[in-house]
Amino acid sequence: MKGSASPLVIRRLGAGLAGAVLFLAAACSGATEPEEGSGEAAKSAPVKLSITPAADETGVRPDAPVTVTAGGGTISDVTVTVVPVGGDIEAEGVPEAAPSPPAAGSDAFDAVTGTLNEERTEWTSDWTLTPGSEVTVVATGENPEGEQSESTSAFTTSDTPNGKHLEVQSNFPTSGDTVGVGMPVVVNFDLPVSNKAQVEAAMEVVSDQPAEGAWNWFGDQMVVFRTKEYWTPGQKVTVNMHLAGVNAAEGVYGVKNRQLNFEVGRSQVSTIDDSSHRMVVERDGEQIKDFPISNGDATTRAFTTTSGVHLTMEKYQHLIMDSATVGIPQGSPGYYYLDVNYAVRVSNSGEFTHAAPWNSSLGQANLSHGCTNMSTEDAKWFYENSLMGDPVVIEGTDRELEVDNGWGYWQRSWEEWLDNSETGEADKTDEAGSPGSPHGSAER
């Protein structure tokens, strides 16, 4: 994970006094050469600061890293100011020691922060720069005597034309949502992404409680973040999408940053046993409900309820279920058209929990078209007490839930999930930064 060191300001007042004492001693004893390694002869040269990109460069690639190096001393402060041409200041940041996760709703994620090496002689920007902007980098360093020097570089980044702007088309959850402990972060882009590792590295996930997670891609326009274990309940999570300046594909760049804030609610995990025809609900580790249910009759694959870890996705107090939407058109064997209440979606293949007052075999037999039938009272309770992202674990059928069927992302083991991450490294969400680098080639 990336970190950054704090500005170090040291004022040394003794050097001038030492020089005065040396002068008096020399006047009393005659013309004596100063001893090697003392006084003015030992005074260090000013620290030499070098900034890349250099001053007055134009058309700098937005994904090029900003670097500051110090010769004969250390770096104490770096400030980067980004002003989109014709716009307001987007980011102004100074590196801080042990940076804390940004507060929900803050603009801290927009700052161009950086990371210092252990010797404090090299600083590298953590994130990319907004296209079409004027950038000013002010670096301060000091030599071993504590004397400070400053260097400035002002340059401009290249713009990217309309039609080549990478935008977030949608995301789940949305800011302000309270979600279940299994909730992933799903981000859909408006354009295909080929430089997936850079985009992954630009998206920072921070949480109140420690967790490990990683991103997986499903196609070229959807990326999903999932944790190793379920989220710890009762905490806040922030997703900082540092997309401005990220080179997503040939000629395609992100143009603005986005921040997502949500809360993880109580832990509620429901387990459905296909053979016993029961659904048990546990909240915060304690069983609170035990419902009779009826799953798919399994006469066809389409009518077989899928086994695996499902997540509640959306819910409807009233819903028309038309089998034509899942590939069984009107006139075909098995066609159905149902008017149901208290429906909670758990997959994209048409599986819901819902009220089925017509089903007299609840708790006894599986007679549905693949959904989990419940009594009206029980379905209403589950509808009213479900959060998006609550795990629903279905056991005992011979049809496995596919990883890309709805939010079936927990169907991959953690090892498989990590293997499918472009960075290949776990993100520790209680630390600032992200694995990998959002920067492209150093050549501009």
pTM flag (> 0.85): no
Q: For the segment 232-270, what is each residue's pLDDT rounded down to a tens digit? A: 999 999 999 999 999 999 999 999 999 999 999 999 999
Residue 284: per-residue pLDDT: 98
Q: Is the CB of residue 72 less than 8 Å from the CB of residue 169?
A: no
Which residues make up the CATH 2.60.40.3710 domain(s) of the chain?
A: 165-265+414-428
If pLDDT is split at 50, 70 and 90, which confidence band does 337 have?
confident
On the question of pLDDT at 359 being above 60, the answer is yes
If pLDDT is split at 50, 70 and 90, which confidence band does 108 have?
low
If pLDDT is split at 50, 70 and 90, which confidence band does 111 have?
confident
- Ranking 234-243, 305-314, 333-342 by mean pLDDT, the lowest is 333-342
Which residues make up the CATH 2.40.440.10 domain(s) of the chain?
A: 268-386
Instruction: Label each residue of the chain as H, E or C.
Output: CCCCCCCCCCCCCHHHHHHHHHHHHHHHHCCCCCCCCCHHHHCCCCCEEEEECCCCCCCECCCCCCEEEEECCEEEEEEEEEEECCCCCCEEECCCCCCCCCCCCCCHHHCCCEEECCCCCEEEECCCCCCCEEEEEEEEEECCCCCEEEEEEEEEECCCCCCCEECEEEEECCCCCEECCCCCEEEEECCCCCCHHHHHHCEEEEECCCCEEEEEECCCCEEEEEECCCCCCCEEEEEEECCECCEEECCEEECCCEEEEEEECCCEEEEEECCCCEEEEEECCEEEEEEECECECCCCCCCCCCEEEEECCCEEEEEEEEHHHHCCCCCCCCCCEEEEEEEEECCCCCCEEEECCCCCCCCCCCCECCCEEECHHHHHHHHHCCCCCCEEEEECCCCECCCCCCCCHHHCCHHHHHHCCCCCCCEECCCCCCCCCCCCCCCC
Q: For the segment 29-42, what is each residue's pLDDT rounded down to a tens digit? A: 334 444 554 445 45
If pLDDT is split at 50, 70 and 90, which confidence band does 340 have?
very high
- Ranking 55-64, 98-107, 117-126, 205-214 by mean pLDDT, the lowest is 98-107
Share of the chain above pLDDT 90, in %: 77
On the question of pLDDT at 380 being above 70, the answer is yes
Domain covering 165-265+414-428 assigned CATH 3.30.300.180 in the classification: no
Domain covering 268-386 assigned CATH 2.40.440.10 in the classification: yes
Give which of 355, 368, 380, 354 is closest to 294, Cα–Cα: 368
Look up tokens 């520790």; give the residue. 428
Look up tokens 């004027």; give the residue. 134
Q: For the segment 177-218, what is each residue's pLDDT rounded down to a tens digit? A: 999 999 999 999 999 999 999 999 999 999 999 999 999 999
Give which of 37, 443, 65, 427 is closest to 210, Cα–Cα: 427
Residue 334: per-residue pLDDT: 78
- Ranking 2-6, 157-161, 239-243 by mean pLDDT, the lowest is 2-6
Which residues make up the CATH 2.60.40.3780 domain(s) of the chain?
A: 14-156
If pLDDT is split at 50, 70 and 90, which confidence band does 441 have?
low
On the question of pLDDT at 300 being above 50, the answer is yes
Q: For the segment 61-94, what is each residue's pLDDT rounded down to a tens digit? A: 999 999 999 999 999 999 999 999 854 434 433 3
Sign of CA dihedral 412, 414, 416, 421: positive
On the question of pLDDT at 15 being above 50, the answer is no
- In single-letter form, the type of residue at position 17 comes to L
Q: Which residues sit opposite 91 in a β-bridge? A: 82
Residue 86: per-residue pLDDT: 57
On the question of pLDDT at 106 being above 50, the answer is no
On the question of pLDDT at 310 being above 50, the answer is yes
Give which of 137, 146, 139, 153 is closest to 46, Cα–Cα: 146
Tell me how far apart the alpha carbons of residues 196 and 198 are, in angstroms, rounded to a whole number. 5
On the question of pLDDT at 113 being above 80, the answer is yes
List the catalytic residues. 354, 371
- Ranking 200-214, 265-279, 300-314, 429-443 by mean pLDDT, the lowest is 429-443
- In single-letter form, the type of residue at position 384 comes to E
If pLDDT is split at 50, 70 and 90, which confidence band does 4 have?
very low
On the question of pLDDT at 18 being above 70, the answer is no
Bridge pairing between strands 203-207 and 122-125: unpaired
Output the CATH code of domain 14-156: 2.60.40.3780
- Compute the C-alpha angle 252/254/255, nearest 5°: 120
If pLDDT is split at 50, 70 and 90, which confidence band does 107 have?
low
Q: Which residues sit opposite 139 in a β-bridge? A: 78, 151
